[in-house]
A and B are shown apart, each in its own frame.
Chain A
Amino acid sequence: MKFLVSAVLLLASFFPVPGFAADARTIRLENAFTRSAPAGGVGAFYVTIVNTGAADRLVAVASPVAGKAELHESVSVGGVMRMRGVADLAIPAGGTVKLAPGGYHVMLIALTQPLTVGQSVPVTLTFEKAGAVEARASVAKPGAIAP
């Protein structure tokens, strides 16, 4: 019986049936935003990741508006600011993880289009268990610390 339920859930995840798929989703993305930037430039994507399920990991990031997207962390060591690539990010069971200015962020590199205030652009976060989840990031002014 347990196996049957798992099989149905697994099948459901392959066929995104409205309603059904939403119930199975354990990761919710809130307050997604980025900042205006010229084409060819760089941008940062911020979001609040809410996990209503078991422990998960953010393992990949991508956006059609960037030639390359990477998960980064800004770290201040003795007054020196460093930005380092992060391979993956643990999302605790029932926990919330914030990608916010001055900490974790998705760096959008080689923007394929200008990001203009008021627009919204898609960014996809892929989780080990929850799979790919798309966020619509609203474009705020340069340096904005909130959407």
Chain B
Amino acid sequence: MPEPSPSPDARGKFLLPVVGLLVLALLVGAGATMWLGGSLADGPAVGGSFSLLDGDGKRVTDRDLRGKYALVYFGYTFCPDVCPTTLNQVSEALDRLGTKAGQVRPVFITIDPARDTPAVMKQYVSAFTPRLLPLTGSDAEIADVARKFRVYYAPHRTGDQPGDYTMDHSSVLYLMGPEGKFLAPLRADAPARELAENLSKQLK
């Protein structure tokens, strides 16, 4: 007779996500600690190569962003509170920078690709500033770019329907240099004036 207890294989399947979550939690904790210490630029690499889709479904890679500073934010369009607040502060901060703003390209990468198709992203960002570049991709492409930027994200169920969920996600602005190198994390909840000052210090 076969053993009634679960096979080692089944236990492995259960353990894997648990271990994965623990590792993620450690990474998030380590990341937060380094940001607080202000030494992330000297720490593990942030950023790297990616290939995603813009609002028209056209491929955009990290190479296409070279030549300008990039201010990268990860979020999602079904987010009614924090994401629009951040994107509006980014937009107002760039307005405050005047001509210097031309050196910076703000980028909004979704961590909810199931809902955020190129068309949805295009409509969403158009409400903020025409400067804002929306990027989405397949689940795998988003997982890859999020891992490279050390962004944590996970769905949080709010009901029984498939669409009943919101996303937990790291809320940080990443300033990348014209060569694609990570320069500094900026507070996503800072007022536009403070964000503009911090940006201005970093720009050449």
- Chain A residues within 8 Å of B, Cβ to Cβ: 35-38, 41-44, 70, 72, 74, 76, 78-85, 101-102, 105, 107-108, 141-145
In contact, A79 and B172 (Cβ under 8 angstroms): yes
In contact, B81 and A83 (Cβ under 8 angstroms): yes
Taking CB atoms, residues of chain A closer than 8 Å to B80 are: 37, 42-44, 105, 107-108
Taking CB atoms, residues of chain B closer than 8 Å to A80 are: 28, 152, 168-171
Complex CA–CA separation, A76 to B28 (angstroms): 13
Nearest chain B residue, comparing its CB with the CB of A35:
B84
Taking CB atoms, residues of chain A closer than 8 Å to B78 are: 42
Interface string of B167-198 (1 = CB under 8 A from A): 01111100000000000000001000000000
Stretch at the interface among B53-61, B86-94, B98-106: B86-94
- Chain B residues within 8 Å of A, Cβ to Cβ: 28-29, 31-32, 35, 77-82, 84-89, 91, 123, 127-128, 152, 156, 158, 166, 168-172, 189
How close is B120's CB to chain A, nearest CB, in angstroms? 9
How many A-B pairs with Cβ below 8 Å? 80
Complex CA–CA separation, A144 to B189 (angstroms): 13
How close is B197's CB to chain A, nearest CB, in angstroms? 18
With contacts A74-B82, A76-B171, A107-B81 taken as known, whether A141 is within 8 angstroms of B156 at the C-beta atoms is: no
In contact, A145 and B156 (Cβ under 8 angstroms): no
Taking CB atoms, residues of chain B closer than 8 Å to A105 are: 80-81
In contact, B79 and A83 (Cβ under 8 angstroms): yes
Taking CB atoms, residues of chain A closer than 8 Å to B169 are: 80-81
Closest 7 CB pairs of A and B: A143-B88, A143-B84, A44-B80, A81-B171, A142-B127, A78-B32, A101-B85
Taking CB atoms, residues of chain B closer than 8 Å to A108 are: 80
With contacts A141-B88, A143-B88, A143-B91 taken as known, whether A79 is within 8 angstroms of B81 at the C-beta atoms is: no
Complex CA–CA separation, A39 to B80 (angstroms): 14
In contact, B189 and A102 (Cβ under 8 angstroms): yes
Complex CA–CA separation, A105 to B84 (angstroms): 13
Taking CB atoms, residues of chain A closer than 8 Å to B158 are: 70, 85
Nearest chain A residue, comparing its CB with the CB of B91:
A143
How close is A74's CB to chain B, nearest CB, in angstroms? 5
